[in-house]
Structure 1
């Protein structure tokens, strides 16, 4: 029975729980060994896999449509893209910012199709020069936007993703680790299940603090600008690389209260890479605390 459960982010739709665990399990165990001198066994770590919930049940497409700027929807998708663009410009000298693009126009639901497409095209062109997205094709980037939008707006999909975490939580589980969108899935599931025995929540490269797109859409919703505490969790450690474009608000204490311990690390040129996050000694220390080490 797993004492630590890992919840993945977007882009895992063609994988499975065993494949994800094979990729990230060693990094997590290395981080705990490096940071706390604690040797975890294979059976101590499990993966809550939800990548397939974005497809029809029993199916899994092996092709990503050749999406372009005309396929990015106004509202949440465009707002998220704009936020990534602005953050990329702040941390990467090769990326021209939104104010330098020479293309004006709203990105909300009221934007005209032409204005929206022009603005989205400028954002995609700018992000193509960002080292952060160096190995991400345009269709895959748009696919990521759509996965975030679908999770944040489709209640049935949210419930399906959170149910995957519920399936692997046992009486032995003490730590939940969420990366990227997986931190949102884990947060909402923990809020919904205060009876779980989980004492420690570790978020990596988390977008939980991103207003409008994520923070203001959480269930339960924030009260007076402060997000709710995740269930029966005793400690919440948030780990972020300052250059991680996904972790726009890299300090979550300002959104969820001073009980959150924010830790900054550097993942080199792979700012959002889950293996870099998990293998970091400071992440390992946070996980080990939940295991009594």
Structure 2
């Protein structure tokens, strides 16, 4: 019966709900403490875990199939890797990387993008196959309806009558948004999105359900307040402000997470994140 439900992003297939909670909870508490918020016990926080649905079977090593540039599918996977590489090159001041990606063609373009990403501080330590596999998870979410429904069901099962705040990171923000839209009967909730790709045109925004109309996304009915937080250097959150897409009620804020701009922990420890979560918890307490 958790007051706060967390929703993770891509590349968590080798972890589990409790593993991620142990990873997220101290940072969550730090952010809330900075904001002067309530003492939130671990029993009041839950993780809507879905990473296992992406975990492949029958492979050696890390459980991720051997992938290279030639395995990248045309369309969403390819475009996502190119957009990531362009954002990284732009943020790190590497115009040569942007120009080289733009000049080259087909699988060469993808390989160049992977080279740019592998040398960046943002994707430091990630192998090519893991970067490709991460892009593939986003593609599968949008192109496999049964998998999409299974993932959303994980969040649906985690939300109870006691839930007050949903904190969603990366792809988890897409899961949270679509699930909230599908459940208008849920009670008053606060949504906090971190490093969200929700506003990225073509790749994410235009694939959302319910479908956007006239360039605007539907407001999720159960949400009374929505705070969106992004680091300017976060290559996943290519569009930093969600207000222009989802309405002026979205409170868009900017933080600085250091070298690991997309890492969930510096997002959670930021005082503005703690303030947004605390506001959701206090709102429930004051109304009770």
Aligned length: 281
Matches within 5 A, 1:198-209: 198-209=188-199
Shift of 1:86: 1.4
Match of 2:286 in 1: none
Q: 1:246 aligns with which of 212, 236, 258?
A: 236
- Structure 1 runs not aligned, ≥5 long: 106-115
Matches within 5 A, 1:30-69: 30-55=30-55, 62-69=62-69
Supply the RMSD in Å over aligned alpha carbons: 1.5
Shift of 1:95: 6.4
Q: 2:215 aligns with which of 225, 230, 238?
A: 225
Matches within 5 A, 1:1-293: 1-55=1-55, 62-94=62-94, 96-101=96-101, 103-105=103-105, 116-292=106-282
Contact 1:77 1:146 in 2 (8 A): yes
TM-score by length of 2: 0.94
CA distance in 2, matches of 1:198, 1:76: 34
Per-residue displacement from partner, 1:44-68 (whole Å, max 9, x unpaired)? 1100000011247xx5864212211
- Structure 2 runs not aligned, ≥5 long: 284-288
Per-residue displacement from partner, 1:108-151 (whole Å, max 9, x unpaired)? xxxxxxxx211101111111221101111111101101001001
Q: 1:189 to 1:278 in 2, by over 3 A?
A: same
Per-residue displacement from partner, 1:14-60 (whole Å, max 9, x unpaired)? 1111111111011112111111332111111100000011247xx58
